[in-house]
Amino acid sequence: MEKSYQNISYFFVGILICAFIGFHFTYTVKFPNFEGLTYVHHFHGAMLMSWFVMLIIQPILIRLNKREWHRQLGKVSYVQIPLLVLSIFLVTKVAYFKNIGLMPHEVAIGALSVDIPVIFSFSFYYILAMINRKNTASHLRYMIGTSLLMIGPGIGRAMIIFGGLPFPIALTYALYITEFVAIGFILFDYFKGASIKPFVIILFVLIASHLCWSFQMSWWWQGFGEWFVKVFF
């Protein structure tokens, strides 16, 4: 592993801590009854936690020169990632059917712009990581890309709970923070003389997701959202 990224596990731990803080008042504080939550939310939480564990452990194994362990553990992701993506889809579906009883149909379709892009972005980053699994530098960076998608939910909820920000503003700030982190990685790689291509691709995907949120009431998102609901929900 590149010397510059040998301690990347600490970065993943930091995101995990942000997630714990953000989700404490909407999830963990409800233990043991978890009122208002379903098995879908528990499944989603378990899969996210398992992915954090994977992200944290894998760089440590490389640093300890346990490459065979790294490869064998990595094979677990062939099952783990489809289940994680499925969990995001199921949470999105539950939220949609809850929203259509509380808000106008167009607004419920617009709200899908939060989670549907995550489904595609996460899958895209993972596929690129697997395509580049023999290119350690690119593989690592696309795996970092999957972690960036988990910054927003934790920080966004923290800004709502502790900062009192309205949901749309908190989410927008969270998206900007995630993009700035990606830009930070681009600059880091640039000044280290490494290829900036992986993080540039990651940033473009983040920006595309941000645009979906910003233009959720546009004809193109409303059309896509309607199609997605009819086909998959």
Taking the chain (233 residues) in runs of 10, the rounded mean pLDDT of each run is 86 93 78 79 93 95 92 94 97 95 95 97 97 94 97 92 93 97 98 96 98 97 97 95
The answer to whether 159 touches 143, Cβ cutoff 8 Å, is no
For residue 17, count CB atoms less than 10 angstroms from its CB and return exposed for 0-12, middle for 13-18, buried for 19 or more: exposed
* 0.85 exceeded by pTM: yes
Quote the distance between the C-alpha of residue 129 and its chain's center.
Answer: 15
Q: What is the pLDDT of residue 195?
A: 96
The span from the CA of 95 to the CA of 91, in Å, is: 6
Q: What is the pLDDT of residue 59?
A: 94
Q: What is the pLDDT of residue 33?
A: 73
Q: Which residues contact 139 (CB under 8 A, 6 or more apart)?
A: 129, 132, 133
Q: What is the pLDDT of residue 25?
A: 75
Q: What is the pLDDT of residue 30?
A: 76
SS3 of 153-165: the string is: HHHHHHHHHHHCC
Q: What is the pLDDT of residue 1?
A: 65
What one-character DSSP code corresponds to residue 112?
T
Q: What is the pLDDT of residue 34?
A: 76
Structure tokens at 143: 């795996």
Domain extents for the chain? Answer: 3-232
